[in-house]
Amino acid sequence: MIKIAKRQYHVQSGESITVSVQATGTVHLVNSDLDGLDGGPLTADESLTFKVTNQTRTLTLLFTFSNNSGGEYEVTIKGDQGGEDTDTVDQGSFGIPATSAEYRFQL
Amino acid sequence: MKSKVISALLIFVFIVPGGIAFGQEPQSELSVAQLEAIIEKMEAVDRDPATTPEVRKHNSQFLKEARERLHKLKGNVSSLQQYLTNFKAVLTPAQVQQVEAAIRNLQRDSSKTSTAITRDAESNGNLSATVTEPVIETNSGPAAAAVSNSTTADGPALASPAVATAQPSLPVSASAALMRTTPASVNVPVQDFPDPQDCTAYAASPASFSLYEKYVCDLIQRTQSNKATPGNKLIELDGPQGFNLVVILMAQKLRSTFLVDAEETRVDKQVGGASSNAGSTSLVIKGGTPAILGLAVENGALEREIDGTTLTFRGNPVGLIDALRNKGFISSFEDDSPSTRLLRKTSFAFSFDTSRGDEPGVFTARKQQLSSVSGRIEFINKRDPRHKSYRTDWENFLATNAQAFLGALVQFKGVLSEVVPGTGVGAIPAQFRYKDQALQDWLVRTDAAIAGAAPGNVETVMKAQLAKLPIDELSEATIASLTNVARQFGVFIEGRQRILDRVAKGTIATFEYTNKREVTAPDTSNFMGIYETAFGKNVDFTFNGALTLFNKLPSGPNAKRLRDFQFAGQLDFPFGDVNGAGQFVLSASGKYERLMQFASPDTGAVLPDAEGDIAIGQVKLMIPIKGLGIRLPLSLTFANRTELIKEKEVRGNFGLTFDLDTLFAKFKPF
């Protein structure tokens, strides 16, 4: 897995991607959606693993903040062919309750 | 009348420099370049911080209409040009001429619509004038203007280099013409969506910010951050900024109350000093503490007969250390290690009685004025959303409300935006764009405006751009999907808030130790338990139980170490409009104290035979001063006696409290 832009990765066909999220300053409240077809809550002690075979895959994560300030999520993305990236999604300074980010894995 | 004056002013601004008078007949067409020049000038007016809200409102409307015209003009012309490019080789010369004529005719039609409509001054409150033809005036004078208006034998020329490089005085009557582009736009009221508040005001008054305003400010902050980081795209549709724009679209288009109304405030912070301090207006001590430093200056007297001024500094060690490290208020909460969490449960306070010392009445912060030192630890805090009591609630929320919202969001983004695929092989990233052309055009213009803005002007520019979001040009499919995602977002917000409401009613149990330093009388140690909970819709209940010991056994017959014990309770009823004057808090409290032996006023004298029961009741109104982090407490206290005098007493107090969290954040918000 090679990072080609912010939240965008070039992966090998058949490569397995593992995504995990750590929360700071908030209850761990993360939901996932993979290609609009699959998804569910992603808890602190589990990771999400999927394969990229013959088409681009898009993972959308919804980050909910339980507090009015200071929440932050660190998303760690690893490919089983090598390569790792982290993306930090913070709450900013204005007490937003939630935000989202899309991660693209293309061949 | 006012709007007429404003409109007239706009017309004057745009027309006079061009030297054009009303009443002329239209003679030529507005070209793409001319329209772009109009838009550029209007955008400059819009960006100008000196532009008044009234002028901005009208200018925004005109600008919107200008863009609509330009968009339509460009779309029609470009589609025909594209057709001509694709098929020129196979078309006959006559067919080519026919398409070229159609292009010119379209341009003519577009301009004609701009000159034909006269607005009804009475029904719309704006001007009524016969629209004249725009003239581009260059530095070269009328000759150049003539060039810009030149036409070919078949009609008006497309934008020529001369026109494109001209510095047009604002197209003139075109600005008036733009107001009346189509009959439909005439009947559409001027967009009255409230301007978002100044983002720097958030720190001082977060509760007055609606969700919409929070997302606007978040978008601005992230855009500022991207602008400051070379290589970053200014607006990333695939990240939090894209989410911000979805919420902003929801708010502007659908105006749901959950997005545009402000939220409630919390009432559990103790800023003032303890009731035993001279001049305190607090009969009951509350469980929460300010995160960084609360400075309370309270005037008047409560339990003692001596009037004085007590300054109390109450703080959290983590917050204070972070502040000293010059960390921003918000980022100071980022460290979440177990030791830091433990430290966050603690707080300290120093109280200074300014009536003491060499300079009575002057705060010197010398040891003589230090009247008490206290430490506090929270051992139960169910007002933390991370408390295990709420785990199941959060899990259910994630599985239902949050997941449904995410599904709707993904679906909406599929309708709203599209991806221009990249390739992994060439490391070419995908590009994101809006499907709605008007929205995409807005994004491109916004990106350019932000890129050209000074870093300190990003907020102004972004807000000006958000006021121009083409919400009336969204496709039916986009609106339907937006409505769906807004509904799910409403359920999501409600579900989250329901849990947070439970959290807000959670129990706080705190232990506090206070070492009270007397002038000549024996120093005392006070041990207090504080219990706080909530019930009903928004009623907060606080209970204190305490006992006080002399640090040294006093001299005299029958002297005991136990000075007193006491119980107190308080009910807080918040009320008022957080969007208006702010939220008031009405409190009713009562206190019972058993004084075991002599009393010791600050004069240092010891009053024997003071033992007995003291009952005190108090009604207090906390008046907020919005945006300044200052609250004004007014209280009325009834007592059967005081520690020093065994007579009934009724006393009124007033004070002033500052929450430095608010003030600190105001000056260093990020």
Partner-chain contact A100 B243, CB within 8 Å: yes
Q: Chain B within 8 Å of A13 (Cβ-Cβ)?
A: no
User: In angstroms, how far is the first alpha carbon of chain A from the final one?
Assistant: 10
Domain-embedded: residue B271:
no
Nearest CA in chain A to B405: A62
Least Cα separation, residue A68 to chain B (angstroms): 9
Residues 6+ apart with CB under 8 A from A9: A1, A2, A3, A17, A77, A79, A83, A85, A103, A104, A105, A106, B424
> Cβ of B473: how many Cβ atoms within 10 Å?
17
- In this complex, the residue of B333, B405, B428 whose CB is nearest that of residue A69 is B333
Do B11 and B78 reside in the same domain of the chain?
Answer: yes
Partner-chain contact B238 A69, CB within 8 Å: no
Question: What one-letter code names the amino acid at B138?
Answer: T
Q: What is the DSSP string of B343-369?
A: HHTEEEEEEEETTSSSSTTS----GGG
Q: What is the extent of the structural domain holding B549?
A: 293-383+506-667
User: Where does residue B400 rank: exposed (0-12), middle (13-18), buried (19+ CB within 10 A)?
Assistant: middle
Closest CA to B45 of B79, B88, B90, B11: B11
Question: Which stretches within B88-210 are classed as H helix?
Answer: 93-116, 121-124, 142-148, 161-165, 172-179, 183-187
Domain-embedded: residue B201:
no
Q: Which strands, in side-by-side order, build the sheet including A57-64? A: A2-5, A8-10, A98-106, A57-64, A30-34, A38-41
Partner-chain contact B240 A29, CB within 8 Å: no
| Residue A31, token pair as written in the block | 């939901």
Least Cα separation, residue B384 to chain A (angstroms): 8
How many residues belong to chain B?
Answer: 670
In 3-state terms, what secondary structure has residue B431? strand
Tell me which chain A residues have a C-beta less than 8 angstroms from the C-beta of B662: none
Do B513 and B487 reside in the same domain of the chain?
Answer: no
What pLDDT shows up at residue B628?
56
CA dist B290 → B103, B345, B482, B506, B621 (Å): 67, 11, 40, 18, 20
Tell me which chain B residues have a C-beta less than 8 angstroms from the C-beta of A30: 398
Q: A82 — alpha (psi -120 to 50), left (phi > 0) or beta?
A: left
| Sole residue written with tokens 């945006």 | B627
Question: What one-letter code names the amino acid at B216?
Answer: V
Residues 6+ apart with CB under 8 A from A63: A29, A30, A71, A73, A89, A98, A99, A100, A101
Partner-chain contact A41 B429, CB within 8 Å: no
Q: What is the pLDDT of residues B115-167, one digit of tens each?
A: 322 223 333 333 222 232 332 232 333 333 333 333 333 333 333 333 232 33
* Contact by Cβ (8 Å): B256, B486: yes
Do B87 and B221 reside in the same domain of the chain?
Answer: no
| Cα torsion angle, B449, B453, B455, B459, sign | negative
Q: Which residues of B25-34 are buried (b: 16+ CB within 10 A; e: fewer)?
A: ebebbbbbbb
> Cβ of A38: how many Cβ atoms within 10 Å?
11
Q: What is the pLDDT of residues B211-261, one digit of tens each?
A: 999 999 999 999 999 999 888 889 999 999 999 999 999 999 988 878 877
Do B92 and B149 reside in the same domain of the chain?
Answer: yes
- In this complex, the residue of A2, A31, A97 whose CB is nearest that of residue B398 is A31
Nearest CA in chain B to A65: B496
Tell me which chain A residues have a C-beta less than 8 angstroms from the C-beta of B392: none
- In this complex, the residue of B203, B215, B403 whose CB is nearest that of residue A39 is B403
Residues 6+ apart with CB under 8 A from B133: B20, B24, B25, B26, B27, B28, B115, B172, B173
Q: Dihedral of the CA atoms B531, A69, B316, B285 (nearest 10)? A: -30
Do B516 and B579 reside in the same domain of the chain?
Answer: yes
Nearest CA in chain A to B205: A94
Residue B229 Cα to chain centre, angstroms: 24
* Contact by Cβ (8 Å): B632, B623: yes
Do B536 and B614 reside in the same domain of the chain?
Answer: yes
Nearest CA in chain B to A95: B214
Partner-chain contact B217 A94, CB within 8 Å: yes
Do B332 and B398 reside in the same domain of the chain?
Answer: no
Do B323 and B465 reside in the same domain of the chain?
Answer: no
- In this complex, the residue of B232, B424, B670 whose CB is nearest that of residue A106 is B424
Distance of alpha carbon B644 from alpha carbon B304, whole angstroms: 7
Which three-class secondary structure string do you get for B288-322? Answer: ECCCCEEEEEEEECCCCCCCEEEEEEEECHHHHHH
Partner-chain contact B385 A96, CB within 8 Å: no
Spans of chain A, pLDDT less than 70: none
Domain boundaries of chain A, sorted by first residue: 2-29+46-60+69-106
Tell me which chain B residues have a C-beta less than 8 angstroms from the C-beta of A38: none
What pLDDT shows up at residue B409?
96
What CATH number does residue B515 fall under?
Answer: 2.40.160.40
| Residue A46, token pair as written in the block | 């589990």
Do B112 and B39 reside in the same domain of the chain?
Answer: yes
Closest CA to B528 of B351, B307, B375, B342: B375
| Sole residue written with tokens 């001027």 | B190
Partner-chain contact B386 A24, CB within 8 Å: no
Question: What one-letter code names the amino acid at B665?
Answer: A
Question: Which stretches within B229-267 are classed as H helix?
Answer: 240-254, 257-260
What pLDDT shows up at residue B118?
28
Partner-chain contact A68 B206, CB within 8 Å: yes
- In this complex, the residue of B330, B421, B496 whose CB is nearest that of residue A56 is B421
Domain-embedded: residue B299:
yes
Do B214 and B305 reside in the same domain of the chain?
Answer: no
Number of domains comprising chain B: 3
Do B557 and B651 reside in the same domain of the chain?
Answer: yes
Q: How many pairs of residues across A and B have Cβ atoms under 8 Å apart? A: 158
| Residue B374, token pair as written in the block | 């206290």
Distance of alpha carbon B118 from alpha carbon B109, whole angstroms: 17
| Sole residue written with tokens 């006021």 | B467
Partner-chain contact A40 B399, CB within 8 Å: yes
What pLDDT shows up at residue B290?
46
Spans of chain B, pLDDT less than 50: 1-28, 109-191, 264-269, 271, 289-307, 326-334, 579, 665-670
- φ, ψ of residue B419 in degrees (nearest 5): -115, 130
Do B372 and B401 reside in the same domain of the chain?
Answer: no
Tell me which chain B residues have a C-beta less than 8 angstroms from the C-beta of A8: 422, 429-430
What pLDDT shows up at residue B154?
34
In 3-state terms, what secondary structure has residue B238? coil
CB < 8 Å from B in window 34-53 of A = 36, 39-41
Partner-chain contact A64 B398, CB within 8 Å: yes
Task: Give the bridge partners for B530, in sequence order.
Answer: B510, B544
| Greatest C-alpha distance within chain B | 125
| Sole residue written with tokens 């606080």 | B542
Task: Give the bridge partners for A57, in sequence order.
Answer: A105
Distance of alpha carbon B506 from alpha carbon B387, whole angstroms: 10
